[in-house]
């Protein structure tokens, strides 16, 4: 058992949901109790997706255990097929259903549905979200592209002369950190090199798209955590080479362009020779000298953490004082990178350990996940988010990729602005419903907000007095509207000719003005 | 209204006629009982909630609560791992270790709840024995209790019910042959609690206690002299446990809106021998104030059609408030569980042709909702944006649980929560 306050990754079936939700024409029937339906809100609220995730939960209850949970699964799968008419179905169990061992795969097979059904074995007590996403994508690719595979050992035919080179973009999912914008950026970049994109998967792909993955000349793995396993299988099966450079930052993007151009047999120079990002100049501009040797702590998924360390070190002139990841499966790359910066790698999914490390190191900037953002706020350290786990703020309305040349511009802005201006976040609106909000518990990280209300409080004494109980009652109003409540009440009292404000006056005024 | 102690039943109803309830059994789109920890851990300030569960439980808690918490919360999850299942590690030994770690880290904790989850229930991890064992280890500094918030047994607010029911045996015995005392049951925001306390004081009703109390070391007494009012409609097990301790229920509507609050206070007034005239004198100014506050929103809500998806069990009392005081039409009142006895006073006040649904088959309910095209839909977070994109205005139900909405002084705020999505829709030109 592990004591966990916050967790970096969800369970593996949430990873499977990220694949199903990213795709079109796929439905996931998940054997799970009712509480597991919370996962829908990750997609509809955090990512603001316009459709419910294509997931049917069996929502079995205690009284069903030992009697007919298998029947409940079959009914749910049959009804989901009838209602949603998917082109492919994923079936599996969440942590609780895994324990009751109903075998969703076997049950679904028995239904003889006229579509490919992919059973998922995602061990919830060993594995986590990213692994679940990777495994799900791999299973889908194998099931759907497998029938089109050439006999083993067949050499890949040469591209016909005159045909433009083409590739697949693999890895972007629902609930990914800036995946949507990265895909646009990289597709545009490939366009500049005269390379076509055959399939982007899983984001926006249909089962039919996965079936023709083998048509492309090569694969680009944007997010190894999600797509490396599938890409390796495609390499073995279809002889498709893969691009391993992850184009985050100027240096990495240029390397990516060189690798891609080589595989495609095109000239990289038209892209490399132009000045396509402002980062190099902004970083050399003399006002950036204050960035020199800023001590930065970096934590995230392995790909984003390693990429961020390189950008911080080579492109912004920061000093990397800490580097780590919560993704044990990809720890090797983080260890190697940590060695080049001469720091001890922090490989852990224990939030408290990360917090302790940051507190100990006292960096000047934290580049992390939403979890490190919380830590940094508490410690009063500027922070920028570079990796999942995500939050609603990680889905900005504006175009905001991490990858490619525009991505480098975004990195410059988002990492440098917290240093100059402090992290301006409007957390207050999020806490409006928190009825227990009071000054002592609240604004530990918002000293300015608390100070402001304190200065508001005694300013408007005037001829109207406050009875002590009324003053007490006013203190229970959340601090961010207290100033307004005070002003309104005093104005009301003045209009009504009330000399001393009582609790009654306070509420009379509240009723009078409304919200 | 005919009088404070006897609200006029809805004109279309005669007595306790049969009501139409659509019972559904299918996919449910509701939280499990663990979610109640999000408000309970702030209400009882020296209590800690340790979920014994899976990564899914931990992920649920931070997804449901993540946007609200920025201090270290007083809850955590002991995540069950493969070796706990494979018998390599004795799960009980592991749990003891985790509890030890936790109490070392949080020495201010006086009450620890071990909270059961779906996986802990399925593997039959005996948390009652664990709680007893750990209580011995950590007595007298920390008391350790347990309850289940699992999704196979509890729905959303039922978690609070299970938690409070677990507290009942811990309550001190009220002295025998003492004068009657009032117990208000259900977690209320502190400010609402204080408002009610003042009203009871003005009525001359006392002593008054609240369950849960703000501190685990100041639990209210209970016994044969206890008369209790439910402040929330989802407390079936807690009520049963209180009856077991000799307490007697005061049937009443729930204190939402003017009618509900007056009916609720009147039930206590009657039991404590407070005359109608005095009751009227005490509540009249607050009633009037609440009506003033409501008037503004009545214009926005009156005549609008509302559809409730099941969520918190607050649906029936809220529907009554919206129908009677705001003039809204009820298309469907969905609730996870319809407690006929606790809701009797509410059902009496609702139109006789109200369509109730109990349980859920979410896809069928969505079909009904789409074909009815209501003006406002009350639903959970997973459904709200997909409905909005279809042009259906929604109100997140969770906000109704996380905001102060009880009593006279919050009546206007409660109405405003329903009016805001409609006002917003009218305002936006994009």
CB contacts of B194 in chain A (<8 Å) are 473, 476
- Tell me if A411 sits within 8 A of A253, measured CB to CB: no
CA distances from B134 to B76, B130, B146, B406 (A): 17, 6, 11, 37
The 8-class DSSP code of residue B35 comes to G
Q: Cβ atoms within 10 A of the Cβ of A376, count?
A: 25
Does A401 or B382 have the greater pLDDT score?
A: A401
Torsional sign, CA A9, A13, A16, A22? negative
pLDDT in tens, A353-364: 999 999 999 898
Please indicate if any CB of chain B lies within 8 Å of the CB of A187. no
- Tell me if B143 sits within 8 A of B167, measured CB to CB: no
Torsion angle, alpha carbons of A6, A9, A12, A13, to 10: 70
Compute the residue count for chain A: 515
Cis peptide preceding B207, ω within 30 of 0: yes
Please indicate if any CB of chain B lies within 8 Å of the CB of A374. yes
The residues, any chain, with a CB within 8 Å of residue A481's CB and separated by 6 or more, are none
Can A439 be counted among the known catalytic residues? no
pLDDT in tens, B348-360: 999 999 999 999 9
What residues does each domain of chain A span?
A: 12-127, 150-273, 279-421, 447-513
The residues, any chain, with a CB within 8 Å of residue A396's CB and separated by 6 or more, are none
Query: Is the domain A12-127 a CATH 3.40.50.1980 member?
Result: yes
pLDDT band at A445 (very low <50, low <70, confident <90, very high): very low
Cα–Cα distance for residue pair A228/A208, rounded to 1 Å: 21
Q: Cβ atoms within 10 A of the Cβ of B392, count?
A: 21
Compute the residue count for chain B: 430
> Across-strand partners of A31?
A93
Cα–Cα distance for residue pair B346/B317, rounded to 1 Å: 6
Cα–Cα distance for residue pair B44/B53, rounded to 1 Å: 22
CB contacts of A36 in chain B (<8 Å) are 56, 60, 151
pLDDT of residue B10: 60
Cα–Cα distance for residue pair B342/A432, rounded to 1 Å: 31
Query: DSSP H helical segments within A114-268, as ranges?
Result: 129-145, 179-192, 207-211, 224-238, 250-264
For strands A2-4 and B75-79, give the pairing. Answer: antiparallel
Cα–Cα distance for residue pair B328/B308, rounded to 1 Å: 12
Mean pLDDT of A462-485: 79
CB contacts of A392 in chain B (<8 Å) are 67
Residue entry with tokens 């609050």? B261
The alpha carbon of residue A61 is apart from the nearest alpha carbon of chain B, in Å, by 4
Q: In a mutagenesis test of the A interface, which of B92, B104, B151, B384 is the best target, namely the one with the most A β-carbons within 10 Å?
A: B151
Q: Per residue of chain B (430 residues), give pLDDT as tens.
A: 344 445 666 655 544 557 889 999 899 999 999 999 989 988 998 999 999 999 999 999 988 765 445 557 899 999 999 988 887 678 899 999 999 999 998 999 999 999 999 999 999 999 999 999 999 999 899 999 999 999 999 999 999 999 999 999 999 999 887 899 999 999 999 999 999 999 999 999 989 999 999 999 899 999 999 999 999 999 999 999 999 999 999 999 999 999 999 999 999 999 999 999 999 999 999 999 999 999 999 999 999 999 999 999 999 999 999 999 999 999 999 999 999 999 999 999 999 999 999 999 999 999 999 999 999 999 998 999 999 999 999 999 988 988 899 999 999 999 999 999 999 999 999 8
Burial pattern A413-443, b for ≥16 Cβ within 10 A else e, equals: ebbbebbeeebeeeebebbebbbbbbeeebb
Cα–Cα distance for residue pair B8/B15, rounded to 1 Å: 11
CB contacts of A61 in chain B (<8 Å) are 152-153
The CATH H-level (homologous superfamily) assignment of domain A447-513 is Proto-chlorophyllide reductase 57 kD subunit B (1.10.8.550)
The 8-class DSSP code of residue A42 comes to I
pLDDT in tens, A62-118: 999 877 899 999 999 999 999 999 999 999 999 999 999 999 999 999 999 999 999
A217-226, A383-392, B87-96, B147-156: least confidently modelled range: B87-96
Q: In a mutagenesis test of the A interface, which of B59, B258, B379 is the best target, namely the one with the most A β-carbons within 10 Å?
A: B59
Hey, which residues 485-504 in chain A have their CB within 8 Å of chain B?
Answer: 503-504
Cα–Cα distance for residue pair A384/A395, rounded to 1 Å: 14
Residue A138 CA, distance from chain mean position: 20
Cα–Cα distance for residue pair B346/B342, rounded to 1 Å: 8
Cis peptide preceding B140, ω within 30 of 0: yes
- Tell me if B386 sits within 8 A of A47, measured CB to CB: no
Inter-chain CB proximity B382 and A503 less than 8 Å: no
Residue A221 CA, distance from chain mean position: 17
Three-state DSSP class for residue B51:
strand
A10-19, A392-401, A472-481: least confidently modelled range: A472-481
The residues, any chain, with a CB within 8 Å of residue B172's CB and separated by 6 or more, are B219, B220, B221, B222
Inter-chain CB proximity A125 and B82 less than 8 Å: yes
- DSSP code string of A127-150: --HHHHHHHHHHHHHHHHHGGGPP
Mean pLDDT of A33-38: 94
Three-state DSSP class for residue A82:
helix
CB contacts of B118 in chain A (<8 Å) are 33, 35, 95-96
For strands B47-53 and B20-25, give the pairing. Answer: unpaired
B18 φ/ψ angles, rounded to the nearest 5 degrees: -65, 145
The CATH H-level (homologous superfamily) assignment of domain A150-273 is Nitrogenase molybdenum iron protein domain (3.40.50.1980)
Cα–Cα distance for residue pair A505/A509, rounded to 1 Å: 6
* 3-state helix vs strand vs coil in chain A, percent to 5: 55, 15, 35
Q: If you average pLDDT over every residue of chain A, what do you get?
A: 89
ipTM at complex level: 0.93
- Tell me if A395 sits within 8 A of A48, measured CB to CB: yes
CA distances from B100 to B46, B81, B96, B144 (A): 17, 18, 6, 12
- CATH number (3.40.50.2300, 3.40.50.300, 3.40.50.1980, 2.40.50.140) of B181-277 reads 3.40.50.1980
pLDDT of residue A81: 98
**Which of A227, A184, A171 lies closest to A22, judged by CA?**
A171
How many CA atoms, within 13 angstroms, populate the side-chain half-sphere of residue B315? 33
- Residue A110: in which H helix or E strand, if any? helix A104-110
Task: Spell out the CATH class of B33-154.
Answer: alpha beta
Inter-chain CB proximity B78 and A39 less than 8 Å: no
Tokens at residue B182, please?
Answer: 């009032």
CB contacts of A508 in chain B (<8 Å) are 289
- Tell me if B50 sits within 8 A of B98, measured CB to CB: yes
Mean pLDDT of A321-349: 97
Inter-chain CB proximity B81 and A377 less than 8 Å: no
A485 φ/ψ angles, rounded to the nearest 5 degrees: -60, -40
Between CA A359 and CA A226, with CA A325 as vertex, the angle to 5 degrees is 150
Task: Spell out the CATH class of B20-28+297-427.
Answer: alpha beta
Cα–Cα distance for residue pair B57/B62, rounded to 1 Å: 9
Residue entry with tokens 């609560």? B65
Inter-chain CB proximity B81 and A2 less than 8 Å: yes
Cα–Cα distance for residue pair A217/A197, rounded to 1 Å: 10
Topology alike, domains A279-421 and A447-513: no
The 8-class DSSP code of residue A60 comes to B
Tokens at residue B268, please?
Answer: 């206590």
pLDDT band at A420 (very low <50, low <70, confident <90, very high): low
Burial pattern A289-306, b for ≥16 Cβ within 10 A else e, equals: eebeebebbbbbbbbbbb
Query: Is the domain A279-421 a CATH 3.40.50.1980 member?
Result: yes
Q: Which of A287, A313, A394, A413 is catalytic?
A: A287
Residue B174 CA, distance from chain mean position: 26
User: Where exactly does CATH 3.40.50.1980 map onto chain B?
Assistant: 20-28+297-427, 33-154, 181-277
Q: Among all residues of chain A, which has the CA nearest to that of B100?
A: A3
Cα–Cα distance for residue pair B395/B378, rounded to 1 Å: 5
Three-state DSSP class for residue B228:
strand
pLDDT of residue B69: 52
> Exposed, middle or buried: residue A77 (CB in 10 Å: 0-12, 13-18, 19+)?
buried
pLDDT of residue A486: 84
Q: In a mutagenesis test of the A interface, which of B76, B98, B152, B311 is the best target, namely the one with the most A β-carbons within 10 Å?
A: B152
Tokens at residue B71, please?
Answer: 């201090």
Residue entry with tokens 């880290």? B105
> Across-strand partners of B360?
B25
> Across-strand partners of A196?
A166
């Amino acid at each position: 058992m592990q004591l966990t306050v916050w967790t970096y990754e969800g369970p593996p079936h949430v990873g499977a949901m990220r694949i199903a939700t990213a795709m079109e024409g796929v439905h996931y029937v998940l054997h799970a109790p009712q509480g597991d339906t919370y996962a829908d809100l990750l997609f509809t609220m955090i990512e603001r997706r316009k459709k419910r995730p294509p997931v049917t939960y069996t929502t079995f209850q205690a009284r069903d255990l030992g009697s007919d949970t298998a029947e409940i699964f079959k009914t749910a799968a049959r009804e989901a097929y009838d209602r949603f008419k998917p082109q492919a179905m994923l079936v599996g169990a969440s942590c609780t259903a895994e324990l009751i061992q109903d075998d969703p795969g076997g049950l679904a097979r028995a239904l003889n549905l006229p579509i490919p059904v992919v059973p998922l074995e995602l061990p919830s007590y060993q594995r986590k979200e990213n692994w679940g996403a990777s495994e799900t994508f791999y299973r889908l690719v194998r099931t759907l592209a497998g029938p089109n595979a050439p006999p083993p050992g067949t050499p890949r035919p040469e591209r016909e002369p005159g045909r433009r080179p083409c590739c697949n973009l693999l890895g972007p999912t629902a609930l990914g950190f800036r995946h949507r914008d990265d895909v646009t950026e990289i597709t545009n970049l490939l366009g500049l090199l005269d390379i076509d994109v055959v399939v982007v998967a899983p984001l926006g792909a249909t089962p039919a798209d996965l079936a023709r993955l083998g048509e492309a000349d090569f694969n680009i793995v944007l997010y190894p955590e999600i797509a490396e396993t599938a890409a390796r299988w495609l390499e073995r099966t279809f002889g498709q080479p893969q691009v391993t450079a992850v184009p985050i930052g100027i240096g990495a993007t240029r390397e990516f362009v060189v690798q891609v151009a080589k595989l495609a047999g095109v000239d990289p120079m038209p892209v490399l020779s132009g000045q396509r990002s402002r980062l190099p100049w902004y970083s050399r501009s003399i006002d950036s000298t204050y960035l020199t040797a800023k001590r930065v702590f970096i934590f995230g998924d392995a790909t984003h953490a390693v990429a961020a360390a390189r950008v911080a070190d080579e492109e912004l002139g920061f000093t990397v004082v800490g580097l780590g990841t919560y993704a044990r499966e990809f720890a090797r790359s983080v260890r190697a990178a940590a060695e080049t910066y001469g720091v001890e790698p922090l490989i852990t999914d224990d939030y408290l350990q990360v917090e302790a490390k940051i507190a100990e190191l006292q960096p000047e900037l934290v580049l992390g996940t939403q979890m490190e953002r919380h830590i940094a706020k508490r410690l009063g350290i500027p922070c920028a988010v570079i990796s999942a786990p995500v939050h609603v703020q990680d889905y900005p309305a504006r175009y905001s990729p991490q990858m490619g040349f525009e991505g480098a511009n975004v990195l410059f802005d988002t990492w440098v602005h917290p240093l100059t201006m402090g992290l301006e976040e409007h957390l207050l609106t999020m806490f409006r419903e928190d009825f227990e909000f009071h000054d002592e518990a609240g604004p530990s990280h918002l000293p300015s907000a608390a100070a402001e209300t304190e200065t508001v409080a005694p300013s408007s004494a005037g001829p109207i007095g406050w009875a002590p109980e009324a003053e007490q009652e006013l203190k229970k109003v959340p601090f961010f509207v207290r100033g307004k409540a005070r002003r309104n009440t005093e104005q009301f009292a003045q209009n009504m000719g009330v000399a001393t404000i009582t609790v009654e006056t306070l509420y009379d005024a509240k009723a009078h003005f409304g919200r | 209204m005919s009088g404070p102690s006897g609200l006029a039943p809805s004109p279309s109803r005669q007595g306790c006629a049969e009501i139409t309830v659509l019972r559904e059994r299918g996919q449910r789109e509701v939280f499990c009982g663990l979610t109640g920890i999000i408000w309970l851990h702030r209400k009882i300030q020296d209590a800690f909630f340790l979920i014994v569960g899976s990564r899914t439980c931990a992920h649920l808690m931070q997804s449901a609560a993540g946007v609200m918490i920025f201090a270290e919360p007083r809850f955590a999850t002991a995540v069950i791992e493969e070796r706990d299942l494979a018998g390599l590690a004795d799960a009980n030994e592991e749990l003891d270790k985790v509890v030890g770690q936790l109490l070392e880290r949080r020495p201010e904790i006086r009450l620890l709840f071990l909270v059961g989850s779906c996986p802990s229930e399925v593997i039959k991890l005996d948390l009652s024995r664990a709680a007893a064992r750990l209580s011995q280890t950590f007595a007298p500094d920390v008391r350790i209790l347990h309850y289940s918030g699992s999704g196979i047994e509890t729905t959303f607010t039922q978690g609070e019910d299970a938690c409070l029911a677990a507290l009942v045996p811990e309550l001190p015995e009220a002295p025998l042959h003492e004068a009657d005392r009032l117990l208000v049951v259900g977690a209320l925001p502190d400010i609402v609690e204080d408002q009610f306390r003042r009203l009871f004081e003005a009525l001359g009703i006392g002593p008054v206690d609240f369950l849960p109390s703000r501190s685990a070391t100041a639990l209210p007494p209970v016994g044969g002299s206890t008369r209790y009012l439910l402040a929330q409609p989802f407390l079936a097990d807690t009520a049963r446990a209180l009856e077991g301790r000799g307490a007697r229920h005061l049937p009443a509507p729930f204190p939402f809106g003017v009618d509900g609050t007056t009916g609720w206070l009147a039930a206590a007034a009657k039991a404590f021998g407070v005359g109608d005239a005095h009751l009227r004198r005490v509540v009249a100014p607050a009633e009037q104030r609440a009506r003033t506050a409501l008037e503004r929103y009545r214009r926005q809500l009156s005549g609008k059609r509302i559809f409730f998806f099941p969520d918190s069990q607050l649906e029936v009392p809220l529907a009554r408030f919206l129908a009677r005081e705001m003039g809204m039409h009820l298309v469907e009142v969905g609730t996870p569980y319809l407690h006929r006895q606790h809701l009797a006073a509410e059902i009496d006040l609702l139109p006789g042709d109200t369509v109730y649904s109990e349980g859920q088959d979410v896809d069928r309910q969505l079909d009904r909702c789409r074909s009815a095209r209501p003006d406002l839909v009350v639903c959970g977070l997973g459904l709200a944006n997909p409905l909005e994109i279809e042009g259906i205005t929604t109100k997140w139900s969770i906000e109704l649980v996380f905001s102060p909405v009880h009593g006279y002084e919050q009546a206007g705020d409660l109405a405003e929560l329903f009016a805001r999505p409609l006002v917003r829709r009218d305002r936006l030109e994009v």
